[in-house]
Amino acid sequence: MAVNTVKFKAQKRAQLGTRAVKRLRQQGLLPGVVYGHKQDVLPIVVDRKEFTREVNRGSHVFELDIDGQIETVLLKEAQYDFLGIDLIHVDFARVSLDETVEVTVPLELRGTPVGESEGGKLQQLITELELECRVLEIPEVIRHNVSDMGMDSVLHIKDLQLPPNVRCLQDGELIVAMVREVKEEVVTEEAATSAEPEVIGAKEREEKAAAAESEKK
């Protein structure tokens, strides 16, 4: 399904440097840059709260109104703080609407594998896909139903159903997910009894230390 561009207000950023960026963040603004198409890199700021909401919605393509100048851009990178919670910087690349681009899109697995009723557990190894498609055909998310996966089933990238005109750049043989038996860790009787001498030894050492202390007195 084709996506629409999101119109968003931005401002040119005159203040550069670490201290200036810190002040901007304290004001609720998110610093970023716009680059590409053989034009100069343009430092900008956007409203952090509103832009975070758009990123969480899966928006990729924006029409930035930068002080009256319209730039059609693709979100190339969103940087978060060390906790991975708050956005601290964004990079935008200038694009044309008919241009083919490379993007990273979330992969969502839906359903409960039949193998889980047999004692298995779904293990998802790949959570994002690297895709190539036209700007206005970027999917927000790729979803795949795993209900038919039985015990020891394996899902490869080549098994995923992608939208028309969308190509995955990763190796088709890469494993996306598998259903494997969950083995509980069992403490054997031998392991349990092997710990007993250590406990007894510790108690004996405490008694000897107490006796030696009483002799000193």
Write the CATH number for 69: 2.40.240.10
Q: Which domain holds residue 55?
A: 6-95
| pLDDT number for residue 200 | 46
| pLDDT number for residue 208 | 52
Residue 63 forms part of a structural domain: yes
Measured between alpha carbons, how far is residue 48 from residues 77, 81, 88 in Å? 15, 13, 8
Q: How many domains does the chain have?
A: 3
Residues of the chain with pLDDT under 50: 1-2, 197-200, 216-217
What beta strand segments (E) does 27-185 contain?
29-36, 39-47, 61-66, 69-80, 87-94, 100-110, 120-124, 128-134, 142-145, 154-156, 167-168, 175-181
Tell me the pairing of strands 100-110 and 69-80.
unpaired
Facing residues of 123 across strands? 178
Q: Which two tokens stand for residue 1?
A: 């399904």
Residue 186 forms part of a structural domain: no
CA distance 43 to 20: 12
CA distance 179 to 151: 5
Whether this model's pTM surpasses 0.75: no
Residue 1 forms part of a structural domain: no
Residue 212 forms part of a structural domain: yes
Q: Are 214 and 164 in the same domain? A: no
Helix (H) or strand (E) holding 12: strand 6-12
Q: Are 109 and 85 in the same domain? A: no
| pLDDT number for residue 1 | 45
DSSP class of residue 71? E
Q: Are 147 and 175 in the same domain? A: yes
CA distance 29 to 134: 30
Residue type, 11: Q
Within 13 A of 145's CA, how many CA atoms are on the CB side?
Answer: 3
| pLDDT number for residue 216 | 47
Classified as helix, coil or strand, 11 is strand
Q: Are 176 and 132 in the same domain? A: yes
Residue 82 forms part of a structural domain: yes
